[in-house]
Amino acid sequence: MVASSPFPSCFGEYAMQVAEMSSGNRTTHNLIACIYCTKLCSCYHVITISWCKNQTGQGFSVAVDNPSAAASPSLPKVGLKPWVSWKKQGKKAMEVDGKRVQIFWDMTAAKYSSGGPEPQESFYLAIVFHGQILMLLGDKKKEAYDATQAKPLLKEPILLSRREHIFGKKYYNTKAQFCESGRSHDIVIECHSGGAREPRLCVRVDRRIVVHVKRLMWKFRGNQTILVDGLEVELFWDVHNWLFNPDLGNAVFMFQTYFPSSHLKSCNYGEQESFPVQVFKGRDFEKLSGFSLLLHAWRIE
């Protein structure tokens, strides 16, 4: 991420505590990290699932944190090396607040889209605590219950944030679901920064232009409010590296969705209780809960 980026912290310090998978070699940057909130050990915890892919293989890691704790302890992380070293199906145990948590997975038949690191179908990843499934990803749910012998999921975890690396020359594509009850949207980022034409930036959601920035040499950082599914989404961009340091780094985009309390029920967020929410000063309401999509856009020459 660009060091000088003006983007606000999405969900506190614990939100981006994901092991940095990148280095100077851009081929190692294929990483997707999803941050969820769920109930664990009688309190709310943040679970980070990171999917990665590099030249030697692909794998994932699981990290659990307790943002409500007075002193945030260093909790263990389940990290899997590339598939050449690990089985595509297995289980692993970890200790959280002195309690045993088990993680089960089956990626033997997993299918991926466009060579990305995150499986799309024919897989499962389950987190079990005290005989109860806390999180279940994937479409092989029956196989997951057979393997874990655990009680069904009581409440779906809340997806707080998604961090993704995308690649392209002029067009950068991804998908995002901004509300639990909403549909998945196609996002296309288009940037013209070379040739005789004046640099400009265009962002589309489902082919509809939501942001069009001209005079990009002067407006390489900024933000704008857009509407998706009837909800306000704040879009931040930082394309400084694309314009002035093309060989050094990537551009950064963040879509931050704000959910006032009146929207929480319609989005299936359930009771607010003690879910970690970010307080944004200067707005009409004090506490907002929402979803954040953070994109690292890398230019392929």
Q: What percent of the chain has pLDDT over 70?
A: 69
Does residue 47 belong to any structural domain of this protein? yes
Same domain? 142 vs 124: yes
Which domain range does residue 226 map to?
166-299
- Among candidate residues 156, 190, 213, the one where a domain is terminated: 156
Same domain? 110 vs 221: no
Give me the DSSP letters along 75-112.
--EEE---TTTS-SEEEEEEEETTEEEEEEEE-TT-EE
- Among candidate residues 156, 187, 214, the one where a domain is terminated: 156
In this predicted structure, what is the pLDDT of residue 163? 94
Which residues lie closer than 8 Å to 167 by C-beta, 6 or more apart?
Answer: 297, 298, 299, 300
Q: What is the pLDDT of residues 170-186, one digit of tens each?
A: 899 999 888 777 788 99
pTM: 0.76
Does residue 194 belong to any structural domain of this protein? yes
Question: What are the phi and psi torsion angles at 260 (to 5°)?
Answer: -60, 165
Domain count, the chain: 2
In this predicted structure, what is the pLDDT of residue 67? 53
In this predicted structure, what is the pLDDT of residue 8? 41
CA 293 to mean position of chain CA atoms: 6
Same domain? 180 vs 294: yes
Same domain? 196 vs 254: yes
Same domain? 249 vs 291: yes
Give just the sign of the alpha carbon dihedral 181, 40, 112, 30: positive
Does residue 5 belong to any structural domain of this protein? no
Same domain? 23 vs 137: yes
Which residues lie closer than 8 Å to 200 by C-beta, 6 or more apart?
Answer: 191, 192, 212, 213, 214, 215, 216
- Among candidate residues 134, 156, 178, the one where a domain is terminated: 156
Same domain? 196 vs 271: yes
**Segments in the chain below pLDDT 50:** 1-28, 70-76, 79, 84-85, 261-288
User: Vertex 22, ends 136 and 175: CA angle to 5°?
Assistant: 50
In this predicted structure, what is the pLDDT of residue 38? 83
Same domain? 146 vs 205: no
Same domain? 142 vs 201: no
Contact (Cβ atoms closer than 8 angstroms) between residue 62 and residue 48: yes
Q: What is the pLDDT of residues 128-160, one digit of tens each?
A: 888 889 899 999 999 999 999 999 887 888 888
Same domain? 129 vs 188: no
Contact (Cβ atoms closer than 8 angstroms) between residue 237 and residue 223: yes
Does residue 56 belong to any structural domain of this protein? yes
Of 31, 28, 3, 30, which is closest to residue 18 (Cα–Cα)? 31
Specify the DSSP element, H or E, that contains 223: strand 221-228
